[in-house]
A and B are shown apart, each in its own frame.
Chain A
Amino acid sequence: MDVLTLLGQLLNSTLVFSTALIFTALGGIFSERSGVVNIGLEGLMIFGAFAAGVGTYYAQEAGLGGMAPWIGVFAAILVGILGSLIHAVASITFKADQTISGIVINFLAAGLTVYIVKMLFNGSAETPLIKVFHKIEIPFLRDIPVIGEGFFNSYPTTYLALILVGVAYYVLFKTPFGLRLRSVGEYPGAADTLGVNVSRMRYIGVMISGALAGIGGATITLTTTSTFAHNTISGQGFIAIAAMIFGKWNPVGAFGAAMFFGFSQAIRNYVQLFEWSRSIPQEFIFMIPYVLTIIVLVSAVGRSSAPSALGAPYDPSKR
C-alpha cells in the first residue's frame, strides 16, 4: 500500500473516532461558556446513544428504512435536551453545585437507559442490531489525494460535525446571542444590568450542550457499534471534556483537540502494520494519547483560561 493511500485512510479513520468527540466538546463549550460546568457530558452521551439505538429500531419497525438513523439522531437530540434539563433545573434554578448535578446526570443516564432497554426488549441488556449510516462519497472532491480519501468519503454525521464547528464559532463570536451567552459566563452581574436574562441564557447553553452531546452519543451507536449497551459509551464524554479544556473553550481549538484524540485512537490500528511496532508492548501504544495530552498541556498550553464565572450559580442579590 502506498503512503498517500495510507495517510488518507488514517485521516478517515481519525474522523470516525473524532466525530462524537467534536459534537460533545462543542456542546460542552456552549454550556461552560454560559457559566455552567458540565461534567455530565458522559451521561448526556449515554442518553443520546440510547435514544439513537431505540429510536432507530422503532423507526425501522415502522418501515422508514433509510430514514431510520435520522429518526434516531432526532430522538437523541430530544432525549439529550431532556437529560440536560435535569442539570439546568438543579444548577440554575435551585443553585445546586454544578459539578454535583452533572454527576447526577451520569448516574441517572447509566441507570435509566439500561433499565428501559431491559424493559423494552424482554430483559435483554442490549438493543437489537440496527441499520446504521453509510459513508457518502462527494464527487470530484473525493479524487483529491489524501484529503479526498480522508475527508470526502465519510459518514453524514462527520460532515455535520465539521460544519457545526464553523457554525458554533460564528454563533459564539460573531452574533449578539453569542456575545450574551459569553457575557453571562464571564460576568453575569454586568450582563444582568444590561438586560440580559442570565437564567434564560444559561438554560439555553445547557440545552444546546444536551442536544449536541446527544448527537455525539448517537454517532457512536449509528456508525460504530450498531447497538446500544451499557458499555457503548465508556469514557468518551470525559475525553470530550478534556478536548474542550484542551481547546480552551474555543470551537476551533476543541475541534483540533478532538482530532488529536481521534488520531491517537486511529493510529493504534495502523501502527501495527509496521514491523518495528511489534517490539513495543501494545499497552504503551494505547497510553500514547493520554500521556501526550499531559505533556502538551505542560509544555505548550499552560494555564487554562476558563470563563470567569464558571461554576458559580448566579445570585442577583450578591451583585
Chain B
Amino acid sequence: MSRLRRIFTLDSLIVPLVAILLGLIVGAVVMLLGGYNPFEAYSALIKRVVGNPYDFGETIRQITPLIFTGLAVAFAFRSGMFNIGADGQVLIGMTSATAVSLSMSGVSSSIVVPVSVIAGGVAGGLWAAIAGYLKAKRGINEVITTIMLNWTALYLSNYVIRHFFLLKGQNRSEDIGASAALTFLSGIFNNARVHWGIVIALLAALFFYVYLWKTKQGYEMRAVGFNQNAAEYAGMNVGRNVVKAMFISGVFAGLAGAFEVLGVFHYQSVFAASPGYGFDGIAVALLGMNHPFGVVLAAILYGVLTYGSAGMSFAAGVPPELIKIIIGSIIFFIAAQGIVRFVLKPFYLKRKKEKVL
C-alpha cells in the first residue's frame, strides 16, 4: 500500500514533466516543419536567459508579474471561480499605484513606495470583489462580469492617466521619481530591472499556501470551491467566501500591476489594448495546476520561454510565436492527462497488476 502511494505522488510530478517534454517536442516538430533547426533554437533560448547577468536579471523581471497573476487566477480557481479578469485588476493596480505615488510628491520615497504598492493591491482586490459580489448576491456568472470589467478597467485607467497625470505631449504618465527605491540587487544584474516585487511574489505564494491549507478560513474557501451546496449545508457563508476569495485574488493581480509600474517602467502608458498580463496568468495557473508552488515553477518556465524567445528568433530566425504553441501544447498535455498516461502506458503495466491484487 505504501508503495502504491509512493507511485501516486511520483505520478503527480511525472505527468507535468512528461507534458513539458511533449510540449517541447511539439515545438521542435513545428520548427522542423518550418525549416528551422530546433537544437540551434533551443540552445539559443537557454543561452539568452543564462548568457549574462543582465539577461538573467531581466528574466527574473519577466517572471515576477507572472507569479502574481498566476497566483491570482489559481486562488480564484481553488475557490470555485474562474477569474478571467486578472487583466483588468492588473490595470487597476497599476493605475492606483501611479495615481497615489504621483499625488504624494515631496514625501519620502520610503513612505510613498509601500503606500502605493498597498494602494495598488487593495484597488485590484476591490475591482475583483465587484465580480465576487455580483456572483454572491445576484448569481451573475463571474466570467461575463470579469470580461466586462476588463474593458471598463482599460478605459478607466486611460481616462485617469490621460486627464490627471499625463506627461505633456506623450502618451504616458509623468515619471514616478520615488519608485527608484524599489530597485533590488540591480548592481549584481548589470542594471537589469529587478525589483523587490520578486520577493513579495514569493511571499505571496507562501501566504497562498498557508492561508488555504493551514487556516480555518482557507478550509472554508476550499470547501466552497469543491461544493457550494455542501459548504452551505455545513453552515458556511458561501457568499462571503466568494467575495473574499475574489478580493484576495484581485489583490495578487493588483500587486502585479503596482510592481510593474513602480519597479519596471517608472511610469504608466496609455494602453490602446489590454496588455494581456491576466491571460498569461491563466496559463501560468493552469501549468502550475493551481497550486502556489506549482505556480512559481510554472511562472519560471513561462518567463524563461518568453524572455528566451527573443534570443531564439535572433539566433535561429524562429518566430517568437512558437513559444505560444509550446505553452499551449504543454497545457494541453497537462489537461488531457489521459494522453500522457497513454504515452507512459508501457511503464505502468506492472502497477496495474499490483492494483488488481
**Looking at the complex, which one of B134, B149, B338 makes contact with A95 (CB distance below 8 Å)?**
B338
- What is the predominant secondary structure among interface residues of chain A facing chain B? helix
If A94-B339, A231-B273 touch, does A111 touch B144 (CB 8 Å cutoff)?
no
The CA of A91 and the CA of B336, in the complex, are separated in Å by 7
Contact between chains at A298 and B134 (CB < 8 Å) = yes
Residues of A within 8 A of B338 (CB): 93-96
- Are A104 and B332 within 8 A (Cβ)? yes
> What residue of chain B has the Cβ atom nearest to residue A125's Cβ?
B319
Query: Which A residue's beta carbon lies closest to that of B147?
Result: A238
Q: Is A239 an interface residue (CB 8 A)?
A: yes
Bound Cα distance from A235 to B148, whole angstroms: 11
List the count of A-B residue pairs having beta carbons below 8 Å apart: 149
> Whole-angstrom distance from the CB of A73 to the nearest CB of chain B?
25
Q: Would A302 and B144 count as touching, CB distance under 8 A?
A: no
Taking a contact as CB atoms under 8 Å apart, the answer to whether A107 and B327 are in contact is yes
A290→B152 contact, CB < 8 A: yes
Q: CB distance B147 to A239 under 8 Å? A: yes
Q: Among B30, B139, B151, B332, which residue has the most Cβ atoms of chain A within 10 A?
A: B332
- Tell me what chain B mostly uses at the interface: helix, strand, loop, or mixed: helix
A107-B283 contact in complex given A90-B335, A90-B336, A242-B148, C-beta closer than 8 Å: yes
Q: Report how far A234 CA is from B162 CA in the complex, Å.
A: 23
Chain B: minimal CB distance from A201 (Å):
20
B323 CB within 8 Å of chain A: yes
Q: Contacts A110-B321, A110-B324, A115-B325 given: A103-B283 contact, CB under 8 Å?
A: yes
Cβ contacts under 8 Å, A283 to chain B: 155-156, 158-159, 162
Asked whether A303 is an interface residue with its Cβ less than 8 Å from the other chain, the reply is yes
| Per-residue B-contact encoding for A96-122, CB less than 8 Å = 1, 0 else | 110111011111101110110011000
In Å, the complex CA distance between A114 and B151 comes to 25
| Chain B: CB-nearest residue to A112 | B325
Chain A residues in 8 Å Cβ range of B324: 107-108, 110-112
Chain B residues, CB < 8 A from A304: 139-141, 144
Task: Please tell me which one of the listed residues B145, B286, B322, B325 contacts residue A103 in the complex, with CB atoms under 8 A apart.
Answer: B286
Instruction: Kindly state whether residue A287 has any CB partner on chain B within 8 Å.
Output: yes
Tell me the B234-291 residues at the A interface (CB within 8 Å).
273-274, 279, 282-283, 286
Residues 229-240 of chain A, each 1 if its beta carbon lies under 8 Å from chain B, else 0: 011001100110
With A94-B338, A107-B283 in contact, is A303–B138 under 8 Å at CB?
A: yes
Chain B residues within an 8 Å CB radius of A231: 273
Q: Which among A101, A242, A246, A284 is the interface contact of B155 at CB below 8 angstroms?
A: A284
Chain B residues within 8 Å of A89, by CB: 336
Interface residues of B in 286-345 (CB under 8 A from A): 286, 319, 321-329, 331-332, 334-339
Jot down 8 A-B pairs with beta carbons below 8 A, ordered by A.
A90-B332, A96-B337, A111-B321, A111-B324, A111-B327, A242-B148, A281-B159, A306-B141
